[in-house]
Structure formats: C-alpha cells, structure tokens
Amino acid sequence: MPWGNQSGGGSGNQPGRGPWSNGPSNGGVRPPDFEELLRRARESLKRYLPGGGLGRGGMAVAGLALLGLWLLSGFYIVSPYEQGVVLRFGKFVQHTNSGINYHLPWPIETAYTPEVTRQKQINIGYKVNPDNSNQSEDVPDESLMLTGDENIVDVNFTVYWQIKDANAYLFNVDHPDDAIKAVAESAMREVVGQEHMERIQTSGREQIQLRVLKLMQQALDSYNAGVIVTDVKMQKADPPLDVRDAYLDVQKALADQDRKRNEAEAYNNTIIPQARGEAAHIVQDAEAYRQQAIAEASGEAKRFISVYQEYKKAPEVTRRRIYLETMSQVLAPMNKVIVDDAAKGVVPYFQLPALQRTLPAQPNARASTQGNEPTTPQATSQGSGP
C-alpha cells in the first residue's frame, strides 16, 4: 500500500503510544497548562492585594484559589454523540456517558471525548468549497488512477465511517483520519487497476464500491484502528479532461462498431432461418410431387391391369368400349352437325346463328340465304354428342 508505516500501538510487542507521547490527534479536551494557570492567578492576586505583594495570608488565599481552580478543571462535558475516555497517569480507567462528568485534574487524570456515534466522511480526489458545498475542486494527485486496460480514469469518491472502539481509535494509530484516507485511496487504486474503463463507468461501479469497502475494512482491522467503514460512494469516474474529447470519439467508434455488429448478427439471424425455411418448403414440395407422381403412376398401372384383365375376358367388347370412350373424349369439346339419312333429296338446313358461336361471320352469304328459307325443314342441327 502507498501509505507509510503507522506508528500505532497495539497488542503484543509493538510499541504503543499513550497520552505521554503527543497524545491523540483528534477529539478530547486538552489538559490546562499548569504553569500558565499559576502565572495568571499570581498576577490577578497582585492586583487585589495591598502594596502589590503577598504575605502569609495572601499566600494562603492564593494557594486556596489555585487549588480551587485546579479542582474545577476536572469538570468536562460529554455530548450525546461522544464518549468519554478517562486515563489515569496514561492508563485507561473508564468510559463516561453523555452529560457533565468529573475526573481528577491534570496531571493525575486526563479525559478525551471522541465522537463515536456520528458518521464521518472523507472526500478523496476532490475538495468541497467550504463557502459553497455545491462547488468542488479536483485533486489530481488523488483522483487520477490507472485501469486494468491501461487507461487513465479520474475517480472521485467519498468514504463514510464511524468509530467502533474509542480506545483503539485514540491510541493505536497515529493520525487516524489521515490513515483512513490513505487506506481508502490505496484500496480504490487496487480495485480500479483490475477493472476495465467501461465497467468502471457503467455496470461495475456498485461492485467496485463493495470491493473497496471490504479491502478498507480488512486493512483497518489489521491496524486495530477501531473504526468501521459504513459506505463507499463513487461520485464520478471520467477520463481526464485533457483527453476527454479523444476518449469520447473512441467510445463513439466502439458504439458504432457494436451497432454494426448487432445489425449484422440480426440480419444473419433473420436470413439463415428464412433460407432454411425456403429449403424445407422446396424439399416438402418435391416430396409431395414425388408421392403424387408415384400414386398417379401406380393408379394408371392398376387401371391398365384391370382393363387388360377385362380385355382378356371379352376382347371385342373391350375394344369397342375403349373406342367409344376415346372418341367421346376427343369429340366432346367440338361442335358437331348430324344429318338424318332418311332426309334424302332434301337440301339440309343449317342454323347459321348457332354456328356463329364457333365460325367467323360471313355477311354476304348470310344476306343471300335469309330470303330463300325453305318452308319445311328436312334437317336439324344438334349439339355435341356421339
């Protein structure tokens, strides 16, 4: 990890850091400066004593006043979201609840009041304007990270955390807020370095946040920092401003490539089933024609065999029947005129209007025959039939 070794105390043989070596960096009531307090009390007494000097009585009054001030310095207030931690000569004695509490004055006992129930947050990659919370400023040294596909991404995120063990938070890690920020930045760099740019910007953001939270908690627990990470929120994950236009062009080209590929796959998924359907239809039509041809041939063969069997029984009758059937099929679509053989010596009469349905009209011949109609017709015209 990129942060330096922390000088936190802990268990075992590791050297601890108690209130006698700089003390905790956050929270708590600072012990009063005893020498400064004594000097101010002495100057105040000089103003009220006659002649500006101290006699035995004055010394006694001054001593009592100083003792009273020293005893009063042991009072401290614990807010509802804080927890009091009392040390006696640098050793933990007790926890105190919210309200007005008292401990033996410094240097006997010391009290610290870390905020244990309030959720805190650390912004990484950007700084919020203290005058306007809606405005922020990027911190490139924290936000620029290298992705798994060798792209640079500008990541801003916020870490939310709480104190779960006041003693560990105060005495095990030097500058715990800075340690939490360093752990968060390192965990995010590790996770981003294993992901692709596209997933960081789109679907993989939720998973990245969970992985960062898990890595942070593991690291802080190994330090015995006494904090719990409640949430990690990515505010943005964009390419750097200097290459943003080029990156957007690349993304647009990739989107066009995906669109063309999807269109080709859609066409492929449409044309192949259609061709297969048409091929299956052709095969089915051929199979149907095959079955039809086989059935017709089989029927004709059976009919020929049955006619042949009848022909062997009565050849003459069969030949005449075949002749009549054939002639009826041939003459059926034709117009026929039958003349009675008994009407000998009589000129046949043809009904020309009836013949006009099949023969072309002849105006001159029709006009000459309309005035010479016989009075007794001797021939008739009939329709089709054998």
Read off the pLDDT of each residue in 113-130 and give the average, rounded to a whole number: 86
Q: What is the DSSP string of 303-327?
A: HHHHHHHHHHH-HHHHHHHHHHHHH
Write b or e for each residue in 37-56: b if 16 or more Cβ atoms lie within 10 A of its Cβ, otherwise e: eeeebeeebeeebeeeeeee
The least confident of 13-22, 99-108, 224-233 is 13-22
Whether the Cβ atoms of residue 142 and residue 188 lie closer than 8 Å to each other: no
pLDDT confidence of residue 4: 39
CATH T-level topology, domain 120-239: Tetrahydropterin Synthase; Chain A (3.30.479)
Handedness of CA 193, 194, 198, 204 (dihedral sign): negative
pLDDT confidence of residue 214: 94
User: What would the pLDDT profile of 313-340 be if each residue is shown by its tens digit?
Assistant: 888 888 888 888 888 888 888 877 666 6
Handedness of CA 192, 197, 202, 204 (dihedral sign): negative
Is the pLDDT at 363 greater than 70, yes or no? no
User: What would the pLDDT profile of 32-84 be if each residue is shown by its tens digit?
Assistant: 565 676 677 667 666 655 555 555 666 677 677 777 787 777 777 788 877 77
Tokens of 169: 């938070």
Higher pLDDT, 26 or 92: 92
CA angle 175, 144, 132 (to 5 degrees): 70
Is the pLDDT at 371 greater than 80, yes or no? no
- Alpha-carbon span 13 to 245, nearest angstrom: 55
Specify the 3-state DSSP secondary structure of 338: coil
Pairing assessment for the beta strands 144-146 and 136-138 based on DSSP bridges = unpaired
User: What would the pLDDT profile of 72-120 be if each residue is shown by its tens digit?
Assistant: 777 777 888 777 788 888 778 877 887 787 777 888 878 887 888 888 9
How many distinct helices (H) and strands (E) make up the chain? 11, 11
Pairing assessment for the beta strands 84-88 and 227-238 based on DSSP bridges = unpaired
pLDDT confidence of residue 32: 56
What is the chain's mean pLDDT, rounded?
Answer: 76
- Alpha-carbon span 90 to 92, nearest angstrom: 7
Percent of the chain at pLDDT > 90 equals 24
Q: Which of 185, 135, 125, 127 is nearest to 155 (CA)?
A: 125
Whether the Cβ atoms of residue 85 and residue 19 lie closer than 8 Å to each other: no
User: What would the pLDDT profile of 256-288 be if each residue is shown by its tens digit?
Assistant: 888 899 999 999 999 999 999 999 999 999 999
Number of neighbouring beta carbons within 10 Å of residue 214: 14
Is the pLDDT at 227 greater than 60, yes or no? yes
Whether the Cβ atoms of residue 188 and residue 151 lie closer than 8 Å to each other: no
Specify the 3-state DSSP secondary structure of 138: strand
User: What would the pLDDT profile of 180-218 be if each residue is shown by its tens digit?
Assistant: 999 999 999 999 999 988 888 888 889 999 999 999 999
Q: Which of 283, 155, 279, 252 is nearest to 209 (CA)?
A: 155
Contacts of 255 (CB under 8 A, 6+ apart): none
- Alpha-carbon span 58 to 281, nearest angstrom: 123
Burial class (CB in 10 A: 0-12, 13-18, 19+), 252: exposed
Q: Hey, what amino acid is at 141?
A: D
CA atoms in the 13 A half-sphere facing the CB of 200: 30
Number of neighbouring beta carbons within 10 Å of residue 205: 15
- Alpha-carbon span 292 to 260, nearest angstrom: 47
pLDDT confidence of residue 40: 73
